[in-house]
C-alpha cells in the first residue's frame, strides 16, 4: 500500500468539516465519490488531454 492508494471525498468541502480519507471508491461518511488525494493523478492528464484535443482538431481541419 502506498500513499497514492488513499482517496479523499470529492465533495468533502460541501459535506464535511474536514477531508474524509478512504481506501475505497466512495466516501464512508457521505457515500459520495472518493478521488485520489494526490493531484498528480490529474495534473498530467489534463494537459495531455488538452494537447490531444487540439492536435485532433487541428489534424481534422487540415
Ligand atoms: Zn464525503
State pLDDT tens for residues 25-37. 999 999 999 998 7
Backbone angles phi, psi at 26, to 5 degrees: -125, 155
pLDDT digits (tens, 9 = 90+) for 44-62: 555 556 666 777 777 776 6
Please state, in angstroms and rounded to a whole number, the distance separating the CA atoms of residues 16 and 49.
31
Ligand 1 centroid to 2 CA: how many Å?
21
Q: What is the pLDDT of residue 8?
A: 94
pLDDT at 1: 53
User: What is the pTM for the complete model shown?
Assistant: 0.55
Walk across the sheet containing 7-9 and list its strands. Answer: 21-22, 7-9, 34-36
pLDDT in tens, 6-18: 999 999 999 999 9
Distance of CA 48 from the midpoint of ligand 1 (Å):
29
Q: Which three cell numbers stand for residue 29?
A: 461518511
Amino acid at each position: 500500500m502506498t500513499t497514492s492508494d488513499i482517496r479523499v471525498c470529492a465533495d468533502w468541502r460541501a459535506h464535511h468539516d474536514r477531508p474524509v480519507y478512504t481506501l475505497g471508491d466512495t466516501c464512508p461518511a457521505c457515500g459520495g465519490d472518493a478521488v485520489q488525494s494526490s493531484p498528480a493523478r490529474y495534473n498530467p492528464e489534463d494537459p495531455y488531454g488538452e494537447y490531444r484535443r487540439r492536435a485532433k482538431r487541428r489534424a481534422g481541419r487540415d
